[in-house]
A and B are shown apart, each in its own frame.
Chain A
């Protein structure tokens, strides 16, 4: 999903709601993120556009809350509880996801496979 600077971006997004798992004092989401505007985007194996500094899901623990909720490795996180995640540093993203007060995070993610599905369905029409 590349886009032109300054132009509105259309993305196919999916909502995912993850219920955090409480483990003692910790709340666990069960996935890891990579990326952020302070990271080297070219190292991101999941992005199509190697300049994309978005936050990506890099690992999902088996049987964890994220997997249960349908999150997959390679998903790009667009929003967390309504907060934009496409222009944040890695650490900001992490903090946003790990608020102790919040038991639930609602993600807006985009996924290549989703886009393709949509595209195909549009072409069929």
Chain B
């Protein structure tokens, strides 16, 4: 025995002890999405010139950017490291040797006495209601598997973008324009790019310029375009270049909004260095369609243009001819024409071949400095056209963005935001949105340093134009992906965004009056962008969270929006995802950060909660059946947390941040967990529960109990089977926090063990799901938490055939963290003497339960010293949990990072030293039906 003890306290453990903090809220993950949501927005604007003579259509391409940054905080919550070793002591104590007197719980199918009441948390084999719900979920689940769970999303996304694309093509030649000018590619485009479409692309551009004679492109453009995108372009878009490097384990398809930063990364890239060689970034559409296109001809500087080398051109040109005449004469000076002309010229310059065909030597692109100079042109249309052109040039072209920045174009654009003419500030906004997108944070900083953020916010307050609002919020979303700007955005724009966008679009009203019906949220682009921006900024640490929580109406509105999403069963969209993520982030550390939180600190938590509860319980309740008084003490925790659960009386309706942690939100998150198909939403909802159930304050007690009462445990357990790694992980950690509640622990031990275990890799070959290391470690830690202090749960662990797997992980896993976590579990199991018999019978012996590389202090120098709070740079985290790199690489990478795993391994409640000395061998089994739904019920009453 002594030997064992020693092992348990091997140095590595001890070090970890020191840091024993509880992971309670382990993950706060902020998924930040930066995106230019709107995707290509192209507009056709018809401008009537002052003199009223000319109409032109201007097209602008807005590029879509989506960046999502996801960050995981591993906040370690320390509950003062309570003196507990991960492993219960092996010193024999009387209680340990006590015979197990637990009754056998028989589950029968007898239904005679069935009560409608469901079991309290987990699926009970008997019982109709539980079954019902369980089945439901199974169905769903099934579907998930069948369809890979993704389909719905995928489809929706697809559709959306599809629509976008077609729209844009529809009304604007924009994109085409863009292609034509920017992307070299026509010449070498493979076939999917039909000549037809090309033609189309081209045409719009031309026509609009010179003369008013706008061509009816629509008629033919539309269909073709659609087709194109329909099968070809769209699907490829996402995955290919952009998402790949995002380590995000996003199984999902396209993901228009993958994770922010990453996306950034993609845009940054190649262009800078070898603009012509890499395809990644020119027009989204083209690029993807043309896998084979490699040859590009050198362009001239500035706008890049590809020559047209094919027949199509000729064709195009023919069509265009009539207009060309018109354009030639147009001098810059001529107001109307001027602005256009400049564009024209560029076009000309870009495509030399066309030029030659046209035989017009004067055709020239303005170069970048010229364009920027035009931003200051006295004539408004010139300004707006220049801005539009800049927007177009900047689309996914980091080089140009950089040039614009260096040429001091950004301050000029920002100053145009205050321009009274809608056309001007709209175009300026569009340009800024494109410039703000990308990995190059300098662009974002440049916008900020010329006070772009307040200017954007000002414009947001001023304008009612939906499109402008979309552009503004899109820009803000982009800006919000850069850590240092988050606070600036909060300072300038939080309340405005809330008042101007979030509240009105959420349908929430400050003072609902009788005649107005409660409104549903509208999932507009503006709302999506704004919520994305807030989602990003909400990850900026404690201060940011505080500001958001205290922002008037924000939490109320978000909650309302989510409730209406649940009501309408419309829970898979991006806006919902953003809202849930904000809620999750704001729920993080509520028990420490909310004003007045001290009042709610659970006093018993300060002094070993376990024991306090125990004594109390012993006093007032001897247990259900009189004969078994001893049993009562085992229920201490749950008794405290649940049976006497009475919510503080509310004198007035809760509002603001208090809503975050009211037990009512549990139902909302559970609905999302039940219904949503969006992995990010699922993860965030589970993360929210995880955050709320962490910590020792009154509210987290309520939350833990409420999750059980609302039958949330089966929902969570079922999600352990999700295909998504991060969902499994979030759920596992949530379960761990929930099991701070004693009764939850019992229930989870009885009903979740099998699912937890099935997620573990068996030996070296991983289960079908191939979960990442972090997830495996999270599951192991959850198991550890559940079996700690509960030999009953340890027993069900054994029954779930886990020992095989644990031993295998312990022996063979490539991952130090996994090994360690598994070893802790094994040691805990072995510490239950009453289980040893059974274990030996199965052929195990003590050596199996000892740490293999006893005390390899692998983690002493870790490359990342633990996540100490929320302020980790986004990118760092991304390498961590979400990378998709091969497991082995990862493992090796992790060898040195044990410390962080230690943090996670600690569990929350270890604090009671005495606690170790009794083992709840005869702890009553969990009642299938929780005793009380409303008020605590006596289990044994004198009459």
Question: A interface vs B, CB < 8 Å?
Answer: 3, 5-6, 29, 31-35, 37-46, 49-54, 56, 58-59, 73, 86-87, 89-91, 94, 97-98
Contacts and interface: CB of A to CB of B under 8 A. Distances in A.
Interface stretch (B111-119, B225-233, B380-388, B604-612): B111-119
28 contacts: A5-B112, A32-B940, A33-B940, A33-B943, A35-B624, A35-B625, A37-B115, A37-B117, A38-B117, A39-B927, A40-B105, A40-B927, A42-B103, A42-B925, A43-B624, A43-B924, A44-B103, A44-B625, A46-B625, A49-B108, A53-B115, A58-B625, A86-B113, A87-B113, A87-B115, A89-B937, A90-B931, A90-B938
A37 B627 contact: no
B924 A40 contact: yes
A45 B126 CA distance: 20
Given A42-B106, A90-B938, A37 B126 contact: no
Interface string B911-943: 000000000000011111101100001111111
B937 A45 contact: no
A77 to B, nearest CB: 10
Contacts of A6: 112
What's the dominant secondary structure at chain B's contact region?
Answer: loop
Contacts of B624: 34-35, 39-40, 43-44, 58
A73 B113 CA distance: 22
A40 B929 contact: yes
A3 B924 CA distance: 25
Nearest to A4: B110
Given A32-B943, A38-B937, A90-B939, A51 B931 contact: no
B120 to A, nearest CB: 10
Which 4 residue pairs across A and B have the least CB separation, nearest first? Answer: A40-B927, A42-B105, A58-B626, A59-B626
Contacts of B1: none
Interface in B86-137: 103-108, 110-113, 115, 117, 126
Contact of B627 (A35, A45, A87): A45
B631 interface: yes
Contacts of A54: 113
Contact of A32 (B117, B626, B628): B626
Contacts of B113: 37, 51-54, 86-87
Given A32-B943, A73-B626, 13 more contacts: A31-B943, A40-B624, A40-B926, A42-B103, A42-B106, A45-B627, A46-B625, A50-B104, A54-B113, A59-B940, A89-B115, A90-B937, A94-B941
Interface in B597-651: 623-628, 631
B128 to A, nearest CB: 13
B115 A38 contact: yes
Nearest to B106: A50
Contacts of B937: 38, 89-91
B625, B627, B938: most-surrounded residue (chain A CB, <10 A)? B625
Nearest to A94: B941
Contacts of A45: 103, 625, 627-628
B121 to A, nearest CB: 13
A43 B104 contact: no
Interface string B336-374: 000000000000000000000000000000000000000
A122 to B, nearest CB: 25
Interface core residue of B126, B926, B937 (most chain A CB under 10 Å):
B937
B672 to A, nearest CB: 29
Contacts of A94: 938, 941, 943
Query: Which of A46, A49, A50 is most buried by chain B, counting CB atoms within 10 A of its CB?
Result: A50
Contacts of A91: 937-938
A61 to B, nearest CB: 8
Contacts of B925: 40, 42-43
A121 B20 CA distance: 67
Interface of B: 103-108, 110-113, 115, 117, 126, 623-628, 631, 924-929, 931-932, 937-943
A32 B67 CA distance: 65
A35 B126 CA distance: 17
Nearest to A32: B942
Contacts of A56: 625
Contacts of A97: 943
Contacts of B117: 37-38
B924 A90 contact: no
A56 B626 CA distance: 10
B744 to A, nearest CB: 15
Given A38-B117, A40-B929, A51-B126, A98 B104 contact: no
Nearest to B927: A40
Nearest to A50: B106
Contacts of B623: 43
A35 B926 CA distance: 14
B927 A43 contact: yes
A42 B940 contact: no
A29 B111 CA distance: 32
Given A39-B931, A39-B939, A34 B625 contact: yes
B929 A37 contact: yes
Contacts of B932: 38
A54 B625 CA distance: 12
B684 to A, nearest CB: 35
Nearest to B930: A38
A32 to B, nearest CB: 4
Nearest to A53: B113
Contacts of A90: 931, 937-939, 941
Contacts of B107: 51
Given A38-B932, A53-B113, A98 B943 contact: yes
B943 A34 contact: no
B104 A39 contact: no
A33 B942 CA distance: 6
A59 B628 CA distance: 11
B942 A31 contact: yes
Contacts of A39: 624, 927, 929, 931, 939
A41 B925 CA distance: 10
A94 B107 CA distance: 26
Nearest to B105: A42
Contacts of B631: 43
Contact of B939 (A3, A29, A34, A98): A34
B551 to A, nearest CB: 44
Contacts of A51: 106-108, 110, 113, 126
A111 B631 CA distance: 25
B940 to A, nearest CB: 5
Contact of B940 (A3, A29, A58): A58
A90 B936 CA distance: 11
A12 B105 CA distance: 26
A53 B937 CA distance: 15
A5 B110 CA distance: 6
A3 B929 contact: no
A45 B669 CA distance: 39
Nearest to B926: A40
Contacts of B628: 43, 45
Nearest to A98: B943
Contacts of B108: 49, 51
Contacts of A41: 928
Contact of A34 (B104, B626, B928): B626
B639 to A, nearest CB: 14
Contacts of A42: 103-106, 924-925, 927-928
Nearest to A3: B112
Contacts of B926: 40
B111 to A, nearest CB: 5
Nearest to A6: B112
A48 B374 CA distance: 93
Nearest to B116: A37
B625 A43 contact: yes
Contact of B943 (A29, A37, A40, A43): A29
A45 B940 CA distance: 13
A42 to B, nearest CB: 4
A6 B624 CA distance: 28
A56 B70 CA distance: 56
